[in-house]
Amino acid sequence: MGNFAITAKELKCLLDNSWLNDEIINSYMALLRLRSKIHEGLNDTSFPRCEFFSSFFYAILRNAKGGYSYKNVERWGRRKNFLECDHILFPINVSNMHWCLAVVSPRDLKIEYYDSMGGENKTCVDLLERYMQDEGAYRKIEHFQSSWNKFFRGPPDVPEQKDGSGCGVFACAFADCISAGKDVKSFEQNNVSSIRRCMSSLIQSCDM
């Protein structure tokens, strides 16, 4: 699927009480990107215009002396038109223990961090702000180089995770809702098992 080869072993991550890995997260983001591009091609304004980065982006961005390197990722956004985006979605792997979702909204100069357990990852939003400022300098977009508004979205403003393994499902569900223009509170913990099954069916049935 796309650039990600999904194996039967990796699909087992979508069984109940299992932790999602990068391959599953990135494959699902690829599906959401495809959906977004289809609606964009149809001029369907009910869907926001979205771009998606892989989970590896953030790890590479901060893998440098000083904890930040634009040079490491400067080519990642070259084919993405940030000026026309409503949202740019970044799945965030926190210390290989927790999944969250960061959403950059260029039109509003806004960065939101969605955490199903209420964490506030200031380092992440600060690094993404710095990345967007560097992109602004490269693209000669003056307002990108100013300060961005930052928000942390956790319960009760978003559904609360009540298990120890569903964080990746929550991050994917947040991405699904946001990229479809839906309220992020349109699901809850009780829906996680059915979301896992839906994700598994979609990933197995789509040959991208």
The residues annotated with a catalytic role in the active site are 98, 115, 167
Local structure of 10: helix, strand or coil: helix
Q: How many angstroms separate the CA atoms of 142 and 125, rounded? A: 20
Looking at residue 65, what DSSP letter applies? Answer: T
Cβ neighbors of 1 (< 8 A, separation 6 or more) are 27, 30, 31, 203, 206, 207, 208
Q: Determine the Cα–Cα distance for residues 114 and 123; give it in Å rounded to an integer.
A: 14
Which 3-state string (H, E, C) describes 11-37? HHHHCCCCCCCHHHHHHHHHHHHHHHH
CA angle, 205 as apex, 204 and 208 as ends, to 5°?
Answer: 90
Token reading at 42: 């149809």
How far out from the chain centre does Cα 157 lie? Answer: 18
Contact 90, 54 (CB under 8 A): no
DSSP E strands: which ranges in the chain?
50-52, 87-94, 98-105, 110-114, 149-153
